[in-house]
Structure 1
Amino acid sequence: MSGQIATWFPLCVGLTAVGLVLSFLAFRRRGVAAGMRVAAWALLPLAAYLTGALQALWTIGTTVVGFVTSLVFSPFVWAGVAVAGVSAVLFVASGVLRGRALSRDGERRKGGKGGKEAPAGPAEAPAVAGGRPAQTGKPAVEAPAKRKSDDDFSDIEDILRRRGIK
C-alpha cells in the first residue's frame, strides 16, 4: 500500500470502532432496529477503505477542489468567460439584425413601406366604397367550381334571404 492510503487506515478503523460503541448504546436504549442501523453506518468507513472507494473519493474531491480554485483565481479562465460572453452577445445581435432584414424583404415583396415595389402579380379590380370590386370593361373571370363548404354557406344564405336578412 502507498503511504497516502495507509494514513487513512487508522482513521477508518477509529470511526468504525466509535460507531460500533454507539451502536451498542443505541441497541440498549432504543432497541434492536436502532442498534442495527447505527452499526450499518459505523461499518461504512472501513468498507470504503477496504474496497478502495475512499481513495477514489479522495481523488475526485482533490480534482474538483483544484478545478474550482483554478477557475476562480485564474485570469486566463476569466478571459475565456469574457470571450464566451462576447460570443453570446454577437449571436443575439446577429439574430436580431437578420430578423429585421428578413422582415424588410417581406415588406418589399408585399409592396409595403420597405421601399421597392412589389413584383407584378395578377391584377385585382379596384374596390368601390361598398367593398365590392368596381366594374371595369374587362369580362369577369369565372369563379372556380364550388366546393363543398361553399354549398354549406349557400344553404345558410338562402335561409337568411327568405327571412329578409342580408
Structure 2
Amino acid sequence: MSFDQIAWLPLCAGVTGVGLVLSFLSMRRRGVVAGLRGVAWSLLPLAAYLTGALPTLWQIGTAVVGFFAGAVFSPMVWAGVAVTGLSLVLFLVTGVLRGRRTAASAAPAAPAAAPPAAPGRSVTAGQAATQPLPKRPAAPAGKQSEPARKPAADDDFSDIEAILKRRGIG
C-alpha cells in the first residue's frame, strides 16, 4: 500500500478522537496529569496531518521497517553485526589494558633512598630496611617514681619526621 492510497484525514482524526476519549478516562482514574499527557499524545496524529509532516514520517517509517526486515533475513548483515561486536569487545579490552599500563607506570619504580651509613660502615639496600629504629633514652633513676608525663604533640611529630628523614622518605 502506498502513501496516496490511504485516506489520511479521517484516519488521523479518528486516532485523535479515540485518544481524547481514552485520555478523558485516564484523567478520571489516574488524575489530571495523566489525562493531560494523554491529550498531548492524542493530538500528535492530527498535527502531523495538518502540518504536512505525514509524508515524511511515512518515508521514515517505511525505511526503518525495510532496514530491519532486510537485516533479519540477510546473512551478510548478521556478519556485519558480528564484526561490530568484535570491534566493541576489542575497544573494551584495549581500554582496560591501557588503564592497567598507565597505573603500572605511575607506581614508583625506584626504591626509597637508603639512610646514611655510620662512619666506617657501609649499608646495602637490604640492610637499610632491616636496621632497628633508635630507642628513646631511658628516664633517670630518680624520676621513675613520678607518674609518666605525656610528651608534647610537637615532640611526637618531630620523632616521626626524624625517622622518615633517616629512611629517605619525605
Q: TM-score over 0.5 for the alignment?
A: no
TM class by shorter chain equals 0.3 to 0.5
Normalising by structure 1, report the TM-score.
0.40
Structure with the bigger RCO (C-alpha within 8 Å, sep 6+) is 2
Normalising by structure 2, report the TM-score.
0.40
